[in-house]
Structure 1
Amino acid sequence: MCNDLAKHYQQILLGLGEDPEREGLRDTPMRAAKAMQYLCNGYEKSLDEIVNNALFESSSEEMVIVRDIELYSLCEHHLLPFIGKAHVAYIPTGKVLGLSKIARIVDMYARRLQIQENLTRQVAEAVQSVTGAAGVGVVIEAKHMCMMMRGVEKQNSVMTTSAMLGSFRRSGNTRQEFLQLIRNH
């Protein structure tokens, strides 16, 4: 597959008017192909594989928050990066998820061609399905290179998206507690 991608990158270089055989570009098609495979390795993973049975019995019914999970993704419209952080919270109902698994879930979905709105919902639904939580809240804040490097070229713009499921959607108090806790750090 990498060789096929490399051939396409070579065609892109030719289409841009470049010489893929010049010294600085000779290995670029293969490097770009390997980079794209890495940046999109979320397609190779499944939720079951990521979680790997890391659910643990717990009597806790209080909100669990993992804040400031860095994420790197590619905009599906322009294939340019968007970079930011995710804040994920859930209210357990007898089981808690291993801490690193939440970050791995974010990575799995971020490492696919995406739009931020879908990424936010996918993370929330995945945490909900794995934990059976009473509620899940996800907020993602990201800077999009497709808006910064091209088009309107707004360097300081940040997009914020949220997905609120279960008690986070039904209860204004639960939602407010989550939003207040991620703001006060």
Structure 2
Amino acid sequence: MTERKNTEQHKARQQKLKEKVDQKIANAQTEQGIFQVITGNGKGKSTSGFGVVARAVGHGLQAKVVQFIKGTWDCGERNLLEQHNVEFAVMKTGFTWETQDREADTLAAKLVWQEAKKYLADDSVDLVLLDEITYMVSYHYIDVEEVIEAIKNRPAMQSVIVTGRGAHRLLIELADTVSEVKNVKHAFDAGIKAQRGFDY
């Protein structure tokens, strides 16, 4: 008898949940590109962004990627996605703490940002990933208002993903979706070397 009662209660709970989900689906009828920010101190922000790029390409959509910061690393995602006609604009200076050259880094950031603006103005592009651009804004290599303006004025059905720590509040306010990746534990902090094919 108890088992039957539990089954009935479970079914009733699931039916209520289904009704709520169905109502949300019915209410979500606006069709537009989505602007997502993936920020926070945890590992996986770029990985998440590239996952969406892979999903888009799998559906036959046109995606472009702009990479700041990590441009000198061998990039597994780039190796794969370029084979599927995903165009990359790469800053190619590497980490700023390695270059220690503000003038050169600023110039490199501004050059690759020009490519990003072309993607953000192209209505044939369905998705643009601006990987690690939050640092360029934080370091004042690229003006946040210019980034906001380009994202606001992009084609209506184009989606944009911004990744990186410390996303500017204006980016967060503008975004349709914001995800914060929390750092609970990281192998690198325990002295474990970054692994090719897992970390990059």
| TM-score of the superposed pair, with normalisation by structure 2 | 0.25
Larger relative CO (CA 8 A, sep 6+): 1 or 2? 2
| TM-score of the superposed pair, with normalisation by structure 1 | 0.27
Return the structure number with greater strand share. 1
